[in-house]
Chains A and B, each alone.
Chain A
């Protein structure tokens, strides 16, 4: 099994290793026919057309009137915004990138494996309707790669909606602009002029520019390695073209890209723990490139999803949408966006190190930092069976070689995190107690397999909890596992298990996206799959169960901190970011006195997701503070405390190293329960 059996895989670099890069980059290049409405407009002509469009003209007049400025001044302002915004695509920039990336790619990567199965579909789509390329976003490399692939496969080059951070990089900002990047400010909600310009620009570019539009539906690079909740702004602008009848359809191509090793692994770990991300600068980039050049980064895996027709999605949507009903319109766009992200996720090739990290994290949490290589390979075989059951595969950097050989290779790629003992039979984990950054790097990788593992993890945790409670056992050890193994055959999914399963899926939906309403279907599928596979041994059992832990703990920490705040602070309004930090500090304190060191729980992203989830459950509410930032206020402390104790119950006793602090906590939570009941 594994991607090595895939016949349609093509290694872009293999070809580059055979012929001259310069000749390749400067070759005669003809893209396939790409949709264009009317006469194709050059970048400059698009800017003019945007300025002259009725919509923009109207907004310019309104803004001029409201701000009592001369219309010409506002117009100048609009032109400035457009100049800051617009791409200036030139083929020579692409050729230059083609050359540089070929050189760099060959140094950094072992292979760039692209599944070419869908290329013909993509070419056909390009000739039919405007196409949106929606790749996953895990690294800066992503958008370079999409353009590089397009150049290699002779697909029309995309224009790319990029964040402003690149623009500031001297030289780089401009060359990216020449490669088709256009720059969008992160926040422009209230700015009518900016919104009118960006929306008109995107529409004109899509309809008359003659390039596919690439954008990142997750909005930003996923630091955690998980799929992020999609943003709908740009997608809704493009969908308006369909709903307003300017074009019969726009097609979406989800693209899934995964990396054996993420360039930004360490940077991400710092950011997730709350250390500010350094500003992008050309100098920094050069330094990084130099340093990168000496490292090995394994392979990159690219998979194209099935094309999604926006028209069909809208027609299928239970809510017939019109622009006159903006709320309903937004709902439909959210459905489309979620489908895209779930498709992306389903098509991702799972990097081997994701599985390895999952195994490693379970060792760390039981304070072990070495694993017999053979045991690792066996555990990986089991994980491989799980992801195969989910129609996914591990990425094999060494095509055609065994899982074991590939694992050895990947261990060498990650030499800063793991190493092999001298006689090659032990994997040594480079981790010292309390090294949260290192832990977070492992978590970044483990997260990339988690969407496959989570359902299994939840089920096993629930079975354990329920068996544990019914048998009144103290220790969840081998006898319990035996019991579970025996009973799996005749397992009855009790209503309580169903209820808990739905509860966990719902509460974690900010971290783990899914189609709401499919929980029980999934639950039964997981149980059947577990029955059909051999039940894992003790080690694997722990590995699977551990996967859920950091999230359970983080969410539990959020509820506890919020309860604490609502108790102590009568106004109890805390600024959102500040609250995140306080929750993190609370968890850190707990970890110092008894809570297991699942440092993944310290991720500010997960904590923020936990807060969002509680907002959704209406236990807490998001309100605007006086200075315009957002704050959190506890609305229903009884509900909150209920959630808190459910999570605590599912965390199980083994989350505590010594009992004393736990007791303390129980006292607290019982007090709260009492208070809220009163």
Chain B
């Protein structure tokens, strides 16, 4: 470690995910190979010891799945095995291009499994296809740049050889953002940033850190923690997602109330585009210098260039971290409380409100209790139902996370429990709160076991003004339920939680699953209903997305969201930075629409 210009420079390269990702990660599902739900001996369990529910038997969860989703554990719907090398599509990349790459010394691969791994994100559609051995267009070559200069070289080569670049970070996209456009005839190069994983420097005087864009959430946090700092940015995918990906999709972290979302944390960013590097030449708290070019890079979803280096704000680790939870008699009371808390601007680091269905679901994800545990559980529910008159089919729970100085946390707790009391909320202890947050990371593993047993599932999210939050939640759930019934689906599950509170409104996160027994085209039905759900969201004044981004699956709602003039502006920026459409992943607006629109423009 060396000191440079008063900044501490770091070369640490501890990394949880290897370059050959499929060595530790599933090729056809979420997360680590050694972790996941399995159904064994008539009961559900979670394997591996990475998570706190690891190696635990989950009897209530098995029952919940059977009751709610009509799951039949006797017939398993296994995924196909990983394709053999000869089954992958032929690589379109030319020998000239490979030769040029080899000359640069940048590592690369044309192996099928490397290319397949980088051909998808984690939407239902993508995972369902993988499990059924369906892949139509995958990248033709994967390259691993190790520094900013490598990226410059690669983008130049791409322009020279007229190939397409699709940047790849952590691979956790849920918007179809990583899918290769099927009609792309040029060779596609997947630029995997995972080897650009260093923290370049930490500036304690200004509380900044500069890192390369490929570093993943858990690595940057572990390294900062060792020095007593944190970025405080913790999206649910932070075990796998990368810094560059956060910038490119406008990510949001669970603790944004304390630390801010990615756009609040970002102080400087370098982005390599075909026409050069897009960056500012200063790192100041704010400035008035015309439209903010950072805002062009934020949310560009790999359509303009590759983010290589990012300067983020950091904070000293909080001395006190405390969980909490509140039980509400019903969802409406919970939403009113969140709204009131936002009005007072006294949100803790995180406050999330789960609806009744999610409360029950979360409750099922617990190990078989000991004798005392079950007494405690029944005493709790007895207190709520008999003494407080709560209806177990109406109650919902908010989970809280406080971070800060001891006294700050205490004052905040007091204020929040005071407000919730006005709406009938009762503090329900820190254990339930903590469980809620830990479960966040394992929930993503559930879809894979669902797919094993004829269940398709997906999440989607939105942001919405406070005045419409409650109705949006209820209406989307109602509409989805009724659309399921109309399609003859007998077993389905739709639930939501309010995950973020702002001055103006909230972020709402939905989980939707159904048992597709007897249906031949489950993914199509799922997407149909998801589209209806988004229409319902928008007619309830919700947005196209709070943090997942547009990708390809939400492009249709963009004109209604940002106006035709807005679309044209975005297209003109694209034209200025990437006139040859090297970054042709088709996200946000879409290749054909882009070309069509530009063609018309040029005629005019």
Contact = CB atoms under 8 A, between A and B. Distances in A.
B475 A247 contact: yes
B421 interface: no
A37 B474 contact: yes
B406 interface: no
A37 B468 CA distance: 15
Given A245-B471, A248-B536, 19 more contacts: A38-B330, A38-B332, A39-B332, A124-B485, A127-B485, A128-B481, A128-B482, A128-B485, A129-B482, A245-B475, A245-B539, A245-B540, A245-B541, A246-B475, A247-B471, A248-B478, A248-B482, A248-B539, A249-B482
Nearest to B536: A248
A39 B394 contact: yes
Given A38-B394, A124-B485, A247 B478 contact: yes
B474 A38 contact: yes
A200 to B, nearest CB: 16
A38 B328 CA distance: 13
Contact of B475 (A38, A124, A128, A248): A248
B331 interface: yes
B479 interface: yes
A488 B469 CA distance: 65
Nearest to A129: B482
Name the prevailing secondary structure of the B interface residues: helix
Nearest to B474: A37
Contacts of B332: 38-39
A124 B486 CA distance: 9
Contacts of B472: 245
Interface in B377-430: 391, 394
A402 to B, nearest CB: 43
A38 B331 contact: yes
B403 to A, nearest CB: 33
A75 to B, nearest CB: 22
A39 B475 CA distance: 15
Nearest to B481: A128
Interface string A484-511: 0000000000000000000000000000
Interface string B322-355: 0000000111100000000000000000000000
A124 B481 CA distance: 12
15 contacts: A38-B330, A38-B394, A38-B474, A39-B332, A128-B478, A128-B481, A128-B482, A129-B478, A129-B482, A245-B468, A245-B471, A247-B478, A248-B482, A248-B539, A249-B482
Contacts of B479: 248-249
B397 to A, nearest CB: 16
A157 B394 CA distance: 23
**Range class of the B interface residue count:** 20 to 34
B290 to A, nearest CB: 35
Contacts of B482: 128-129, 248-249
A129 B475 CA distance: 10
Which 9 interchain pairs have the tightest Cβ spacing?
A: A248-B479, A128-B482, A245-B540, A248-B475, A39-B330, A39-B394, A38-B332, A246-B471, A38-B330
A128 B478 CA distance: 7
B479 to A, nearest CB: 4
A28 to B, nearest CB: 22
Interface string B524-558: 00000000000010011100000000000000000
Interface in B3-25: none
Most chain B beta-carbon contacts within 10 A, residue among A39, A129, A245, A249: A245
A8 B281 CA distance: 80
Contacts of B475: 245-248
A122 to B, nearest CB: 14
Nearest to B394: A39
Contacts of B485: 124, 127-128
Contacts of B468: 245
Contacts of A249: 479, 482
Nearest to A244: B471
Contacts of B331: 38
Most chain A beta-carbon contacts within 10 A, residue among B391, B468, B478: B478
Nearest to A248: B479
Interface in A369-394: none
A39 B391 contact: yes
Contacts of A245: 468, 471-472, 475, 539-541
Most chain B beta-carbon contacts within 10 A, residue among A38, A124, A127, A248: A248
Contacts of B539: 245, 248
B478 to A, nearest CB: 6
A245 B479 CA distance: 12
Nearest to B539: A245
A38 B539 CA distance: 20
Contacts of A127: 485
Contacts of A37: 474
A154 to B, nearest CB: 20
Interface in B463-501: 468, 471-472, 474-475, 478-479, 481-482, 485
Nearest to B538: A245
Interface string A244-259: 0111110000000000
Contacts of B330: 38-39
A166 to B, nearest CB: 34
Nearest to A241: B471
A245 B475 CA distance: 8
Contacts of A247: 471, 475, 478
Contacts of A38: 330-332, 394, 474
Interface in A206-227: none
A37 B394 CA distance: 11
A127 B481 CA distance: 10
Interface in A39-95: 39
B604 to A, nearest CB: 29
Contacts of B394: 38-39
A379 B41 CA distance: 78
A128 B481 CA distance: 8
A485 to B, nearest CB: 52
A129 B541 CA distance: 20
Contacts of A128: 478, 481-482, 485
Contacts of A248: 475, 478-479, 482, 536, 539
Interface string A110-135: 00000000000000100111000000
Contacts of B329: 39
B531 to A, nearest CB: 14
A129 to B, nearest CB: 7
Contacts of B478: 128-129, 247-248
A124 B472 CA distance: 23
A471 B243 CA distance: 93
Most chain A beta-carbon contacts within 10 A, residue among B329, B332, B482, B540: B482
Contacts of A124: 485
Interface string A234-250: 00000000000111110
Contacts of A39: 329-330, 332, 391, 394
A522 to B, nearest CB: 34
Interface string B302-335: 0000000000000000000000000001111000
A121 B112 CA distance: 53
B588 to A, nearest CB: 26
A245 B394 CA distance: 22
Interface in A1-44: 37-39
Contacts of B391: 39
A39 B539 CA distance: 24
Contacts of B536: 248
A100 B80 CA distance: 67
Interface in A113-172: 124, 127-129
Contacts of B541: 245
A653 B468 CA distance: 67
Contacts of B481: 128
A98 B517 CA distance: 43
A129 B330 CA distance: 20
Nearest to A35: B478
Nearest to B480: A248
A247 B472 CA distance: 9
